[in-house]
Amino acid sequence: MRKLVFAAAVLLTSFAARAADSVQFGQRVITVGDRIGKVYDIAGEPTRIVPLEKTPGAAAGQRFEYVRNGKTVSLTLSGGVVVRID
């Protein structure tokens, strides 16, 4: 019985973690791993683009910020691919 409860908890946790890897814009969804072209196609022009640096002057990517319904959705891109959604 304990194994079954543990397995169910792990399964539910994995679904919750996977849901954080995507964001919905209208009827379409952006997920981690999507390319920058798809982001523009689905979400349009970001409200703000923040350049990210590893060290001063060394580009590490970009953060696209979209303000929707009073909340900010941030998409972190590296190498032209979504690597994080907040």
Query: What would the pLDDT profile of 46-65 be if each residue is shown by its tens digit?
Result: 999 999 998 887 888 999 99
For the chain, give the mean pLDDT.
82
Predicted pLDDT of residue 68: 87
CATH classification code of 2-85: 3.30.1450
- The pLDDT value recorded for residue 6 is 42
% residues pLDDT > 90 (the chain)? 65
Q: Which pLDDT band, with edges at 50, 70 and 90, does 23 fall under?
A: very high
SS (H, E, C) the chain: CHHHHHHHHHHHHHHHHHHCCEEEECCEEEECCCEHHHHHHHHCCCCEEEEEEEECCEEEEEEEEEEECCEEEEEEEECCEEEEEC
pLDDT score for 51: 94
